[in-house]
A and B are shown apart, each in its own frame.
Chain A
Amino acid sequence: MAYTEEEIRHWLEEVKDPEIPVLSLNDLGVITGISVLENGKVKVEMTPTFVGCPAIDYMKSDVKEVLAKHGVEEVEVRVSFDTQWNSNMISEKGRQALKDFGLAPPPKHNLIVELDILEEVECPNCGSHNTDLKTPFGPTLCRSIHHCFDCKETFEQFKPI
């Protein structure tokens, strides 16, 4: 049985980032290539958000598991840096999902991240920009910690990178 790339991508919607379970790998932007070979074998190309991201091995086996559930038996998942992930690759749907989850989405950038874009991040709780960066390191490699002066909440941001 042959599959189309669209089908594979659709099924991969079920695979979520284990550290941010509202975000699919598609929306996170870490699926960098899908190819269906003539013999029916499926090849999925992935790249990690951070080089040291411990979630990549989980994501890799989740991809295989979900595709197997849909009857795709032969799956090869290749993790490489052929395409280097950056936070602009998070989809609009993904950015909204982050916000709903209580994590500020990363601001879009021109691939040169300067400290000033980490200041005055929009608070995901009340929408205020009257906020302050507390530390560029958080509970996972991809998050920074901020404080909102208006609603007084401390919140996290998915770091622009």
Chain B
Amino acid sequence: MRALVWHGKEDIRCDTVTDPEIEHPRDAIIKVTSCAICGSDLHLFHNFIPAMKPGDIMGHEMMGEVVETGSEMNGSLKKGDRIVVPFTINCGDCDQCKRGNFSVCERTNRNKEMADKAFGHTTAGLFGYTHLTGGYPGGQAEYLRVPFADKTHIKVPDSLTDEQVLFLGDIFPTGWQAAAQCDIEPTDTVVVWGCGPVGQMTIRSAVLLGAKQVVAIDCIPERLSMAEAGGAITINFEHESVVERLNELTDGKGPEKCIDAVGLESHVSMGQPDTLLDRAKQVVMLESDRPHVLREMIYVCRPGGIISIPGVYGGLVDKIPMGPAMNKSLTFRMGQTHVRRWTDDLLRRIEEGQIDPSFVITHTVGLEEGPEMYKVFRDKKDSCIKVVLKP
């Protein structure tokens, strides 16, 4: 089969690889009908996430048709079923899964020992990601083996298109979780840093959860136009002061809820000296992540507020102002998305027509164009916001 394979920093190729096989009775094989390039794939593309290996198949947003199942599906899945695959693999049986904490499933990371050493305790296995999370082959491919498939799937009805449901596997529940863990009140101002695909989903989620006003921060005009279409007041940080504008919008009190949909590769600009220092430290490996957004959120957030972090961080950050964070009684909530916790509700909302997540798709291409599209997405060329691949 063909698949997009990581060969090193900025080197992704559309290779021919061997087909996946059933390895365990709880496995299933799907024929991938649609998959997408995620913002966090760019962190792998740039080799900012440790423990990738040449030969790793990329991709953790995918869906398709079940073509083969193991012997222990217990009636949950059969050939021909159409499913979206959550990027967090979950067993459904461990303590964490029973609590709904699917992204920290205790049993699905096949490199548990490595994760125990790196993180203290293991987290769930993830598709198309670092070997710290199992190194499972990803879904930017024609076929995918889904481990623990009896639990790791979202069945979707034929009445909905791939484009409407594909993002149930990652960015939609990720944006939703980011907003939901803010405990939004009707009087809240919710600020979203970053108007990439997750930021866009977060904005819509905050609207659907009843925020008084949603503010979106970015510097890319087309992304800001999409944010505005979703109901956000926009701030282009290259043209105006984020702090001043947020104070203006909140009567000087600051926003109650701040969401970081940027993560470890925040924009570097001359107007933000800390970003230059972060970039320099990152180059010489004194720091792995650039936490400008975290610093800014802590500074602007209203005392007693909530900082929600769906953006991916990979390692170590410097100069986080914990003094202000502590004194302002801020609450931090973060984590990889507990996808299955949210998807029944989100699928219902899509079916009811409350929201159609396909609004975010700007490019649809074949798998063979994937390597080029990584660069188009990275460079934000051709007004690219979200790329869907059709294997």
Indicate, yes or no, whether A interacts with B: no
Binding site for B on A (CB under 8 A): none
Binding site for A on B (CB under 8 A): none
